[in-house]
Amino acid sequence: MIAFFGGTLFYIARRTTGTLLVPILLHGLYDFSVFSHTGDTRTISGLESQILLVVVLVLFAVVMIKHHAWSDATAPQDA
């Protein structure tokens, strides 16, 4: 399920930014959160970092969608 939502958010990031670099960076952050779990209880756990990253990705997607909708609404219309 996480892979589905992650892929969907990466797609939204690609479509709204118009560049592939942003989804690549987001995917790298996601991979880092998955593989950085060390088992040390004093640091953020792998699951907590994944949840945090998903929240950040969702917020990013919402901002990009709103920005895209706003830029479409303010674009000059052909007569």
Joined tokens for residue 39: 């088992």
Contact 16/65 with Cβ under 8 angstroms? yes
pLDDT at 71 over 70: no
Average pLDDT of the segment spanning 28-48: 66
First to last CA, the chain: 45
pTM: 0.48
Q: Which residue has the higher pLDDT, 46 or 4?
A: 4
The number of CA neighbours under 13 Å toward the Cβ of 62 is 6
Quick one: what percent of the chain has pLDDT higher than 70? 66
